[in-house]
Amino acid sequence: MSTRISTAGQPFQAAPQHAWFRRLMAWARGNLFPTPFDAALNLVIVALFAWLVASMLPWALLDATWSGGSRADCTGTGACWAFVLSRLDQFIYGFYPAAERWRVNLAGTVLILGLAALLIRAVPGKRVTGLLMLLVYPPFAFWLLKGGFLGLTGVQTDRWGGLMLTLVVGVSGIVLSFPIGVALALGRRSDLPVFHGLSVLFIELWRGLPMVTVLFMAIVMLPYFLPAGMKLDSLGLAIAGIVMFQSACLAEIVKGGLQAVPKGQYEAAKALGFGYWRTSVYIVLPQAIRIVIPGLVNNSIALLKDTTLVMVVGLFDLLNIVAAGSSDPRWLGSATEGYIFVGLVFWTLCFAMSRYSHRLEHSLRSRRQRLGGVS
Amino acid sequence: MRHRVGEIVCAAAMAALLAVPAAAGSNGTVDAIKKRGEVVCGVSTGQSTGMSTLDNKGDWQGFEVDFCRALAAALLGDATKVKFAPLEFKVAFASLQSGAVDLLARTATWTFSRDAELNLDWAGIYIYDGQGFMVAKKLNVSSAKELDGATICLTGGSTTELNLADYFRTNGMSYTPIVGNAREQNQQNLEAGRCDVYTNELGGLASSRTAMKNPDDWVLLPEVISKEPTGPVVRQDDPRFRDIVYWTLATLIAAEELGIKQANVREMASSSDNPEVKRILGTTGEFGAMLGLSKDWAVRMIEATGNYGEIFDRNLGQGSPVKLARGLNRLWTDGGLLYAPPFR
């Protein structure tokens, strides 16, 4: 190659570049163009992708309008991101009073910091942080968001909305349904007939009902059974419905994990003198849950997307507040931009969960291989 | 206004199943509202353009919303004493039945079977809507009778489809339907030229026209092929509340007829010589007390929202982006159907 000749005069600079280039070419030959057919296929895909980007780019970015107070300000041929940007506060906080929004920000920041401390391996003190996040954070966040006592003005839950509401419903659904689901799974495998029966009844009842029906019954039927004038909190009803439904599904997933733990593990624990609870907590559950991590995360992703059903009880989650925004006479015709925004937010959240589960599985697998345990 | 038939059947079945009076006693609803200090008004989920939507600040706006505010001003003397409960169509009737809301102010068409089976009452009609057609201006079509052989976009599974089939069969014409499942999809189909015509209620069509890239390129044809009367819906357990809701509407209409406006209502209350204006505004007689309302209830109401014409214009008419023509919703003196009983 000509490079070799021309670089001969300056060997110190050119050598590493040359090696880098050769490695890249080798990788490309091996992976992108191993046969003429693969090469053609890859070129077609690259061309299609380029065409897609080239046809989207003018609309999405180059000709887009970024600021304005109504659709009439979007005079260009591109997307009207002014719709999303000018209503961004509403999409994030719903109807939360503007002067109190720092409380939402604080609750969100603490949640992100807490999760980061738990997920980033280098941060020490996982046990303390985990306990704080599980036991102290939920009441703290509830106090911060709802207020009404200890010096904060009350904000009724019908003022909550948008992304904040989606996250409140999603996070509380995931956190609350996990212990209930595990307890139900243990109950289902229990030898005690009462626990076994009740667990089976609960699981089969809630798993067999469509989520919309559960919410529909909560909002329409419950008022008949309550004393006149008594009104339950819609958000509370929605979260309760989601937790019931999700914990039943989760119980079945955990049950699968319990069944996959070899019988020898139970027998070995018994031989060591462990009782039921110590066997479950220290021997069986850690192994069972490790097996079902993909299923658990899948369930959590489904739950997050199910939060859009809370519109049935009259709550505006992210999707519905954006859909409502695009019906405002001043923003008619902005539905596409709105739905793209909602799609991006949901995709980001779900993709983050999926990546985390992937990493968790990977690290658990490598640790297991290191320890030489069962696989 | 028009919804999937299945949903209606479902709501009707639920309501029939639950047809139990939620609050006994003849003045249950009015007393409950006064005790609570606010009216709970069931509206759409913010997706009914011009009727009930959320503005940039998250406040409710629209025709139905203003009607609820007028009712709150009449009943409680304060137009802000109203809470809006967003309801999906499938839970709307059942929520009213169960007492979760005091009234529905959303686009629910008044029909015989709903009135008879749901144990609910329509307290008047505030919008006379109906199914119409939107076409491109460049097609130079001036009447629906010229649409023989047209390709027509519509929402599937709704009564829109049935009305359209009836109309074309009656007039001996043929058409090709292109079925979409939402308004946005139909708009896109029409804009992309996949169909020549889009049929829906006039109110919905006017909104769709606003959403088009160039609204001036599209026209609504004059023919209206179905009746879609919509109005406030209340439970049957409190006749007094129904009267108050009805007279709120009738007074808004009468105010337009008599020229009482948001800007001049105080002035007219003190200086008008028209005996009917004096009775409405409480200058003479004890008309408010007959309904259990304050003497100046109508003054407060019109001061808060304006008369019918002003509410229509602000939310649906020329003063709004929707620019819906008044059509049947003109006063009877202008050839429309709005007619308030005499105030005496």
| CA A191 remoteness from chain centre | 35
Domain identity same for A240 and A176: yes
Partner residue facing B49 (CB), from A94, A320, A327:
A327
Using alpha carbons only, give the angle A20, A24, A25 rounded to the nearest 5 degrees.
120
Chain-chain contact of A324 with B50 (C-beta, under 8 angstroms): no
Specify the pairing of strand B228-230 against strand B127-129: antiparallel
| Residue A170 sits in the same domain as residue A281 | yes
Domain tally for chain A? 2
- Tally of CB atoms within 10 A around A205: 11
Contact B150, B199 (CB under 8 A): no
Residue B199 bridge partners (DSSP): B133
- A159 and A28 assigned to the same domain: no
Question: B321 CB near a chain A CB, below 8 Å?
Answer: yes
Q: What is the DSSP string of A94-140?
A: TT--GGGHHHHHHHHHHHHHHHHHHH-TT-S-HHHHHHIIIIIHHHH
- Whether A3 shows a pLDDT value over 50: the answer reads no
Band of pLDDT at residue B303, cut at 50, 70 and 90: very high
Mean pLDDT of all residues in A184-189 = 92
Closest by Cβ to A332, choosing from B56, B90, B321? B321
pLDDT computed for residue A13 by the predictor: 52
* Residue B176: predicted pLDDT: 94
The pLDDT of residue A248 is above 70: yes
Q: What integer pLDDT is reported at residue A9 of this predicted model?
A: 47
Assigned token pair, A218: 């909560």
Select from A327, A334, A340, A342 the residue whose CB has the most chain B CBs within 10 Å, as the one to mutate to test that interface. Answer: A327
Q: A250-307: per-residue pLDDT in tens?
A: 999 999 999 999 999 989 999 999 988 899 988 899 899 888 988 999 999 999 998 9
- What is the enclosing helix (H) or strand (E) of B167? helix B159-170
CA A339 from centroid of its chain's CA atoms: 18
Query: Is B22 part of the contact surface with chain A (CB cutoff 8 Å)?
Result: yes
Question: What CATH number is associated with residue A332?
Answer: 1.10.3720.10
Write down the number of H helices and E strands in chain A: 19, 0
Residue A149 lies in a domain: no
Instruction: Return the amino acid letter for A294.
Output: P
Main-chain phi, psi angles of A65, to 5 degrees: -105, 130
Interface of A with B in 132-161 (CB under 8 A): 161
Q: Is residue A113 part of a domain?
A: no
Residue A254 shares a structural domain with residue A314: yes
Name the residue type at position B94.
A
Is the same domain home to A38 and A182? no
Q: What is the pLDDT of residue B88?
A: 87
Angstrom distance (rounded) from CA A300 to CA A269 = 31
In the predicted model, what is the mean pLDDT of chain B? 89
B315-325 per-position pLDDT tens digit: 999 999 888 99
Tell me: do A205 and A236 sit in the same domain: yes
Question: Tell me, what's the pLDDT at B98?
Answer: 84
For the question of an ipTM over 0.95, the answer is no
Q: What is the mean pLDDT of residues B307-314?
A: 96
pLDDT of residue A229: 61
Quote the pLDDT of residue A33.
Answer: 78
A224 neighbourhood in chain B, CB within 8 Å: 18, 20, 22, 98
Residue A364 lies in a domain: yes
Residue A173 shares a structural domain with residue A49:
no
What was the pLDDT predicted at A64?
84
For residue B141, give the amino acid letter: V
In a domain, A129, yes or no: no
Position A232 scores a pLDDT of 76
Residue A173 lies in a domain: yes
Contacts of A333 in chain B (CB under 8 A): 210-213
Do both A202 and A166 map to the same domain? yes
C-alpha span between A285 and A238 (Å, rounded): 29
pLDDT tens digits along A305-364: 989 988 888 889 999 999 999 889 888 888 889 999 999 999 999 999 999 888 888 887
Beta bridge partners of B219: B135
Q: Containing domain of residue A283, as a range?
A: 83-96+155-371
Tens digit of each residue's pLDDT (9 = 90 or more) over B36-84: 999 999 999 888 889 999 998 889 999 999 999 999 999 999 999 999 9
**Percent of chain B at pLDDT exceeding 90:** 68
Q: Are residues A20 and A87 in the same domain?
A: no
Question: What is residue B244's predicted lDDT score, i.e. its pLDDT?
Answer: 96
Does residue A212 lie in a domain region?
Answer: yes
Domains, chain B, with CATH or none: 5-128+229-259+307-334 (3.40.190.10), 131-226 (3.40.190.10)
Asked whether residue A58 falls in the same domain as residue A159, the answer is: no
Same domain (yes/no): A186, A255:
yes
Question: How confident is the model at residue A230, as a pLDDT?
Answer: 67
Given a cut of 80, whether residue A237 has pLDDT beyond it is yes
List Cα–Cα distances, B288 to B75, B77, B126, B244, in angstroms. Answer: 10, 12, 22, 10
Write the residue in A70, A95, A329 that is nearest to B322 by C-beta.
A329
Q: Are residues A348 and A279 in the same domain?
A: yes
Q: CB-based contact (8 Å) between A219 and chain B? A: yes
